[in-house]
Every structure is written in C-alpha cells, then in structure tokens.
Amino acid sequence: MQFLGVDPGTGSWDFFGIREEADGSQEVFLDLAITTKRISQNPQLFTGILNQLEQPYLVTAPSGFGLPLKQIKDLTEEDIAIMMLKKNKEKKIIGLSAILHVLHERQAMGYAIPSAKHLPTVPLHRKINRIDLGTADKVCTAAVGLQDQHDRLGIAYEETDFIMIEIGAGFTAVLAIEDGTIIDGIGGTNIIGMQACGGLDGELAYLIGTIHKRNIYNGGVAAIAGNSTLGLDELILLAEKDPQTSLALQAFYESIIKAVFSISTSFSNPRKIREILVSGRATNQPKIMKPLEERLNQIAPLREMRSYSQVAKRAAQGSAFIASGLGGGKYAPLVDCLQIKKSSGSILDYIYVPHDGPLF
C-alpha cells in the first residue's frame, strides 16, 4: 500500500511517499519539493502527483490549522475554511485551499488531521485564548522526532521526551513532547520568524486597528532587515556587515530561546527533557545553530532532528508516517501514541477575549 505525506510550506510544498508491502518491507517511492509559488500558480502539479498513486493508497491532506481527524471525502466548505482560518472577505480558492478542493473533488482516500490544539494530551488550561499551538504540519514534524528518538535511542515511543524547534522559511514553532505526546506548543504566529512578526504586543494591535493576515505574516527578520525578499542564507551573510540585519537576527535568536525556556516549564519534570531537536532548513547553518546551542544547552543537548528523506522536509516525512499509521501500517503505534485518533473540538474553543460578533 502507498502512503503519501504532504507539507504545504512557505517556501516549498514537499511530498514524501512510502510503499509498504505485506511482508513488512518498505521503500520510498516519492521524495520531492516544488516551490510554493509554482503550486499556487498551477495546482494541477498536485493533481499529477495524485494520478501517479497506485491503489490502494492513503494520503494525509495538508491541513493547515487542522480538524479533528476526518476523511477527505467528508470535508465541507466550512471545514476547508477553518483549516485556512481566513475570514469571508479574505477567502480565495488559491494555494492550500485549491489543493484541498482538488483532494475533496477527487474523493481522495485519506484524512485531514488535527493541529496541536485538537489533541487531548494538551491540557485544557493551555488552550485558553490560544489558537496557534502548532499547526497540523508541526504535529507531523513532532512525529518524526518521536521516530528519531525511538530509532536512535532504542526506546519506546512512550518514552520519548524532547522540545522541538522548527525553523521554517516563514515561521518558527516550538513544541513540547513528553511521554510520546504533545503537551504544549508555541505556534509560528507567536515567535519571530523569517517572515512572521511573532506575538503582537496588545497595545500595538490596538494602534494598528484592523489586523489582517498580512500584518501577522510579515514583520519578521526579513522585514526588520529592510528587505522582505531575502532568504535565510542571504540574511546571515548580510548580518556580517549590516547592523540592522544583525539586530534582526538577535531578535530572532532570543525569541526562540525565550520560547524554549518558557515551554520547558510545561513538563512534569524538566529533567525528563532528553534533547532539543531542531528541524527545518536552518539546521545546516552553524551561525543559527551555535547561538541556540550555547544558550539552550543548560536545558538539554541540542541536536538536529534526524531526516528520513533526501529532499522532502520532515513535516512531509511525518505526514507520510501518520498516513501509514492511520492505514494500519508500520507506524500505527506512532499514531496511537500521539493520540491523533482521539482529537476533538475546534480551533476556536476556549476563547474568552471579548470580541464584536463571531470570530469566524
């Protein structure tokens, strides 16, 4: 049976496919990255990948802000809208939305999956007045972290304990995993990223007035440096001679460090934290990894999360693992440990901040 994982990243859409045989053997049949710009301009590229799948197959849909586990064929327009989390006047059938419509129209065999907030392993008090505890793709990356420690340390999934840092092209997120379950998360809209501004100061939000996606998805490192088109490698080089870019990276590092120290308090015992596992394209940049290691080593050793592919990002790998688990394949114990099948509720639950009219 074939299992396909998809990661709808800021810079690229990544695809990772594994084939499992009845005798337990496994092979990778797809390991691919396509720029997000190309996918947005031509969603038929995704259709071409679907056309290559052999029956039977199972795909984990790119799920954005997630849903309690739901089959793709059963998705409604409201489901797709809430996974996108865009208000009516901002809704356009492009990018992720277009792909979700393609999957639904084709009645693709597979599931939309939850974000961290939908999981029963995150205590309710940590969900209050919060939406972004880690999107569905961050749950997928966490799955790779569980598999990494399981394989490398020779321990059961239920014994895995780590803090995950994922540094993406636009967003940075930090999750806490204890006893093989996600117990807390600080999502990408709450930490300064390459593009994202991080948690907005309440008074600043008041002065801005109406907040749009463009406000929270910008204002990060690239904007501080003065050029929102620059990538990570370019920013690191520029920081060596440009004080403003150096300032941007200092803010970036410290935002991550504060998030890690903060989430370390969510563990029942901080001494349980075996490692801090870092994922994302930034892991090959010593000038990113070194300052994080120097500051975070007092919590736990920092290391790069293992990758099981040559091309596709870890979120796509984890997405494929979850597809396998949901299909009763090799990774079923991994999915059971994460309690994905027990996901419930809405991303809009437990919101108590006063607001005019419905949130969505």
Q: Which CATH class is domain 2-342?
A: alpha beta
Domain ranges of the chain: 2-342
Residue 78 burial (CB count, 10 A): 9
Pairing verdict, β 57-60 and 110-112: parallel
How far apart are the C-alpha atoms of 355 and 86, rounded to whole Å?
Answer: 17
pLDDT digits (tens, 9 = 90+) for 226-254: 987 788 888 999 999 999 999 999 999 99
How far apart are the C-alpha atoms of 354 and 39, rounded to whole Å?
Answer: 38
The pLDDT score that the predictor gives to residue 44 is 85
159 contacts 151 by C-beta, under 8 angstroms = no
Which 3 state secondary structure label does DSSP give 135? coil
How far apart are the C-alpha atoms of 112 and 43, rounded to whole Å?
Answer: 18
pLDDT digits (tens, 9 = 90+) for 65-98: 999 999 999 999 999 999 998 776 554 445 788 8
Percent over 90 (pLDDT), the chain: 79
Percent over 70 (pLDDT), the chain: 98
What mean pLDDT do residues 163-192 have? 96
Name the residue with tokens 């639904």. 104
**Minimal CA–CA distance to 132: which of 200, 203, 178?**
200
Under the phi-then-psi rule, with left for phi > 0, alpha for psi from -120 to 50, and beta for the rest, what region is 35? beta
The pLDDT score that the predictor gives to residue 282 is 81
DSSP code of residue 28: E
- DSSP track, 39-66: HHH-THHHHHHHHTPPSSEEEE---TT-
Question: What's the chain's Rg over C-alpha atoms?
Answer: 19
How far apart are the C-alpha atoms of 38 and 303, rounded to whole Å?
Answer: 32
pLDDT digits (tens, 9 = 90+) for 279-336: 997 888 888 899 999 999 999 999 999 999 999 999 999 999 999 999 999 999 999 9
pLDDT digits (tens, 9 = 90+) for 38-67: 988 888 888 899 999 998 999 999 999 999
What mean pLDDT do residues 178-205 have? 95
How far is the CA of 333 from the CAs of 267, 272, 278, 337, 340, in angstroms? 23, 22, 23, 6, 11
Mean residue pLDDT across the chain: 93
The pLDDT score that the predictor gives to residue 93 is 42
The pLDDT score that the predictor gives to residue 88 is 61
The pLDDT score that the predictor gives to residue 198 is 93
The pLDDT score that the predictor gives to residue 290 is 92
How far apart are the C-alpha atoms of 24 and 329, rounded to whole Å?
Answer: 9
